[in-house]
Every structure is written in structure tokens, then in C-alpha cells.
Chain A
Amino acid sequence: MKCTEFLKELTDYLDGTTSATLRAELDEHMHWCRDCRVVLNTTKQTIEIYRDNQIYELPERLRIQLHQAIMARCKSKKEGKRSDAAE
């Protein structure tokens, strides 16, 4: 297996969606190829770092304000619909 072939399967390998046969071939390639091993490990770390460090959290105060605004707008939509139906 060439490194380019390995790379093509990287996403499926990381997501655990490769067949057992292909997985064994990829493992075999990684055993001998340090570069691909590093690429795989650092790609895995990239995903984990983004997953573990949520960079955009909704502050609680803002969340409450947004929730009130959304529900007020939904309520007036609902009432609008009802008065349309009554007419």
C-alpha cells in the first residue's frame, strides 16, 4: 500500500467504517510507515481537541434572553394564525 492510498482511507479508518480486511492492511502500512502513523495520530488529536474545547459557548444570560425573544415571536405568530382563522 502507498501513502496516498492510506491517506484516502484515513477518514473511514478514524470513523471505524472500513472493512476488517482493509483495516488490517492500513494497520500493516502504519506499522512500517512512521509518517502515516504520525499523520493518523495528529489528525485524531485535531478532532479530539476541537471536540473537547468548545470554543463558542452560548453564555447563560444571553441564552435566557434569546429564549424569551424566540418564544415571544412564536407566541405572536401563533396568535396571528388564530386571529386569521377567526376572521
Chain B
Amino acid sequence: METIQKKTDPDTSEMVLVQAAKKGDLEAFSQLVKLYDRNVFRIAQHITHNEEDAQDVVQEAFLKAYTNLEQFQGNSKFYTWLVRIAVNEALMKLRKRRTSKTVSLDEDVETEEGAMPREVADWSPNPEQLYGQTELGDILKKTIQGLPPGFRTVFVLRDVEGLSTEETAESLGLSVPAVKSRLLRARLQLRERLGKFFNSRKSGDGKQ
């Protein structure tokens, strides 16, 4: 049996697990699934907007990773490699649902929306407290779902899941400047849209 190092630096323990899994240690792969299943599920939900699809993506992504583990060279982190597989699976699901429209990461990214801020009112001191937890969740979901896939995916990987700009670029097969410009637009569009709910003018009456 391979021994798995515990409580080491996450990159080292990830590498140890990957090496063991490559040699056929299923328990090591099971640990990798437990490390990243929540992240993969969140990313898949953000892209597909559908819980069933997201569950399928989690299964397919890990199975593909397992099947192709020998091809993983270790030049990047296992997580970055896994995210790339998951993003592709999720985009495929999205394409199936929207048969009339092709879906790609380049879709709608030419939009001018959010390029120049129109709303410059400040927000309430504690915008999150204007709404209950469920209502806030609905606002955040609706707002991010309105973004084109190419923007929201970059935002989710970079700002929600905390990948670096370089890792985001690698996961999506985009250049670093492309990630940066999409991230800026995604952040500005979200800001503009959330402003409708969080402007300080609204703090008196709570919801509209």
C-alpha cells in the first residue's frame, strides 16, 4: 500500500496522490475526487445552470481524468488540468441544451455592455444585509447567469474559485491578455447589474 502524506503543502500532497493513482491506487484517486468534487460541481453549475447537468459533468470529468491520467504530464497542477476537462464537459452540456445556438467561450464577448460604467452611485454600507440569504442567493444567481458564458466562466475560475490568471488561461485555452480583458468586462458588468439591487439609494426601503 502507498502511504499518503497528510497535512503537507497542498501541491505536494496533490502530486503524491496523482503519482499513486497513476500506479493504479484507486484510494489515492478517491482522495483526489474528495479534494476537488465541490469545486468541479460549482464550476459546472455556473456554466450549465442546471443541477442534473452539473452532476453529470462531475462524473464525466473525474472519469475522463482517471482514464487519461497517464497523459497528465505534471507540467501544470492536477487541479488546473481537471478544471479544463470539466469546463469542456460543461460547455458540451450547454450546447446540447441549446441546440439552436452554438456555444463557445467566444460567444457574445464583443458586447460593449459594461465597458464604460453608467451607474456610479455608491452602494449601501452592507449591501448583503439588505436581503435575506435566499433572496441574496437568487439575486447573485440571476445576475451572473445573465453574463455570456465566456465572461462568467473567467469570473468564476479567477474570482470565485481563486485560480491565478495564468491557471485560468491554461484551463480555458485562452491567452493571459484575453483572460484579463474578459475578467475586467465580467467584473464591470456584474458590478453594473448588482448596483440595481445594492445602491445606497435603496437602503431605506430594502427591496424594490
Interface of A toward B, CB cutoff 8 Å: 4, 7-8, 10-12, 14-15, 34-35, 38-39, 41-43, 45-47, 49-58, 62-63, 66-67, 69-71, 73-75, 77-78
Contact = CB atoms under 8 A, between A and B. Distances in A.
B185 to A, nearest CB: 9
Contacts of A12: 180
B137 A53 contact: yes
B128 A67 contact: no
17 contacts: A11-B183, A39-B188, A42-B194, A46-B191, A47-B187, A49-B140, A50-B140, A50-B190, A52-B128, A58-B38, A58-B42, A63-B37, A66-B55, A70-B59, A71-B26, A73-B59, A74-B62
A34 B59 CA distance: 49
Contacts of A4: 116
A75 B4 CA distance: 20
A51 B160 contact: yes
B175 interface: no
Contacts, number: 118
Contacts of B62: 70, 74
Interface in B111-130: 116-117, 120-123, 127-128
Contact of A56 (B26, B54, B121, B184): B54
Nearest to B61: A70
B47 to A, nearest CB: 11
Contacts of A42: 122-123, 191, 194-195, 198
Closest 10 CB pairs of A and B: A56-B45, A58-B41, A11-B184, A35-B120, A46-B191, A74-B66, A56-B42, A70-B62, A43-B191, A47-B159
- For chain B, the bracket of interface size reads 35 or more
A8 B46 CA distance: 26
B26 A38 contact: no
Interface stretch (B10-18, B27-35, B84-92, B96-104): B27-35
Nearest to B140: A55
A39 B117 contact: yes
A50 B144 contact: yes
A6 to B, nearest CB: 11
B122 A41 contact: yes
